[in-house]
Chains A and B, each alone.
Chain A
Amino acid sequence: MAQPNKISYFGLIKNGIFGENPIFRVALSLCPAVAVTNSLKGGMLMGVAVLFVQTMTNVTVSILRKFINPKVRIPIFILVTATWVTVSDLLLHAYEPAAYKQVGLYIKLIVAFAIILSRAELFASKNKVIPSIFDGLGMGMGFLLALTVISFFRELLGSGSLLGYPLVATKPVLIFVLPAGGFFAVGLLMGFFNWIDIKFFGGAGSSGGGH
């Protein structure tokens, strides 16, 4: 991870989307993956918010990395994250008030997301600004992709619609819009991604274990 001279920007993006996908590979920030993914719109909004906060936090932490005393680095990272969360919170509240009602509570929770803090600690505080941008973009896009896939299946199966437009005539599988179905969807998709990794890329699969 911390090999500054060997980093390629494309490799960083790829690492975020596939190699260390926040949800499906390292299993961090599963709380929003279950909580806001019962509609495709909610899941995508959350993903975009995290993409924004992750990238901006990485940039800020990377710029400030020489000035941060290691003893107080965690509170500083949280403060930086909180700043950008407030920005995205106010932006969403202003431009998407309807969707904000649904995901607003969880947007504020981004401050405590494990993935943001872990990338600030593991990458941005040890690397230059440009690689940090790409790491943040990669992780954010991996998160956005994961939440989009999960919420796509949950809305399709649970409500029989996509982005609010009804598609299926029969009664949908209600459990998928409830929290229990969120766990089913995350678990099954994680297993599916592991299967692809093992079958086609010769990986070892991951069991994960975060929150």
Chain B
Amino acid sequence: MAVMNEKEHARLIVSVSPHIRSDVSVSRIMWTVSIALFPALLMGVYFFGPRALFIVATCIVSSVFFEYLTAKVMGRPVTINDGSAFLTGLLLGMNLPSSLWSFSPFLIHVPIIGSFVAVAITKMLFGGLGYNIFNPALIGRAFLLISWPRAMTIFYKPTAAFLGFDAQTTATPLGILKEDGMNKLIEVFGTKSNLYLMKLIGQNAGSIGETSALALLIGGLYLLAKRYITWHIPVTFIATVAVVTWIFGGTDPATGKMVLFAGDPLLNVLSGGLMLGAFFMATDYVTGPTLRNAQILFGIGCGLITSLIRIKGGFPEGVMFAILLMNCFAPLLDRYVKRKPFGFRKEAAR
């Protein structure tokens, strides 16, 4: 592992047998996840213009800088080369709206403060990589969303005109769904199939990296194929959101009352930060459970909280809060599902 020095490594060698060594290391995983995020970033930059690139670059540079600074101040070995700070910055940047790149009102400090909270407070103060309780990028985003609620919810219309700096603000599809209902959403996008198509390729308002469900799916499948993540968390997370929003997500357009089994699961699955969260943030090794059964429960919990916030909560989107809340439960879930040793009886243990 990258953080280990020669001496520490020698202590871990316990036997003389020929062992098969894997070339998987912390830095390799981090860089692979970063590569898997690349398609989604590309679509974000294509639709939201250079602004999006500036935001993501600011987050990455400041994350790596704060990691270096805190490691120096705390007298720890500097581990910026393992890519974890890079990945945190990348994820944070992809979770922010492109409208934060604005000079009047001046908002450039917002992503930098987010990176500071993510890396310095959430990760380094808790002991560095492997010791943090919460997902650093999500804590960074939660901090910003609560601190600058106006600025963090201004979304630009995707223009796909790379050098056009003119921008028009609009609500996210989930925001429209929450405020004005399904009919208004279809009115905005023309037809229902066009709505799904736009959601897939990413031509809709939202955070930089969350809009293109297809690009995120490609990245997620790449990680699954490389076996860096398993299916348990993403599949249960997405499936739970689909089922719960299908059952409870529908409303009668005339009265505004809830109609059972009338929700739109496909729209809910493709919308918001679900794909990004389910594949790239809920599957974080450090802050999620490690046992398979616990991961299934973790995914279901994330899905339930996400759906609850989307249907009943004050925010249009709840993936971030869902993952952060379930992060608290990760150790508990691991303990709960731990397999009993063969022949184990309660009386015998005492």
Contact = CB atoms under 8 A, between A and B. Distances in A.
Interface in A104-160: none
B120 to A, nearest CB: 10
Contacts of B125: 191
A174 interface: yes
A174 B106 contact: no
Contacts of B146: 174-175, 178, 180
Contacts of A174: 146-149
A178 B148 CA distance: 12
A170 interface: yes
Contact of B148 (A171, A176, A184, A188): A171
A173 B105 contact: no
Nearest to B105: A171
Interface string B95-113: 0000000000110010001
Contacts of A184: 121
A174 to B, nearest CB: 5
A175 B143 CA distance: 7
Contact of B106 (A170, A173, A188): A170
Nearest to B146: A175
Contacts of A178: 146
Contacts of A188: 121
Contacts, number: 20
A188 B116 CA distance: 13
Q: Is the interface of B mostly helix, strand, loop or mixed?
A: helix
Interface string A162-205: 00000000110111101010001000100100000000000000
Residue among A173, A180, A188 facing the most chain B CB atoms (10 A cut-off): A173
A170 B108 CA distance: 12
A201 B216 CA distance: 52
B239 to A, nearest CB: 31
Contacts of B149: 174
A171 B113 CA distance: 13
Nearest to A158: B147
Nearest to B149: A174
B147 A175 contact: yes
A197 to B, nearest CB: 16
B105 to A, nearest CB: 7
A178 B105 CA distance: 23
Contacts of A191: 125
A133 B105 CA distance: 54
Contacts of B121: 184, 188
Interface in B110-133: 113, 121, 125
Nearest to B150: A171
Contacts of B105: 171
A168 to B, nearest CB: 12
A57 to B, nearest CB: 36
A188 B125 CA distance: 9
Interface in B286-339: none
Nearest to A188: B121
A79 B149 CA distance: 45
Contacts of B147: 173-176
A149 to B, nearest CB: 18
Interface in A21-57: none
A175 to B, nearest CB: 4
Contacts of A171: 105, 148, 151
A171 B149 CA distance: 11
Nearest to A180: B146
Contacts of B106: 170
Nearest to B113: A173
A170 B105 CA distance: 9
Nearest to B73: A195
A171 to B, nearest CB: 7
A15 to B, nearest CB: 28
A174 B147 CA distance: 4
Interface of A: 170-171, 173-176, 178, 180, 184, 188, 191
6 contacts: A170-B109, A174-B149, A175-B146, A175-B147, A176-B147, A184-B121
5 shortest interchain CB distances as A-B pairs: A175-B147, A175-B146, A173-B147, A174-B147, A175-B143
Given A174-B147, A174-B148, A178-B146, 10 more contacts: A171-B105, A171-B148, A173-B113, A174-B149, A175-B143, A175-B146, A175-B147, A176-B147, A184-B121, A188-B121
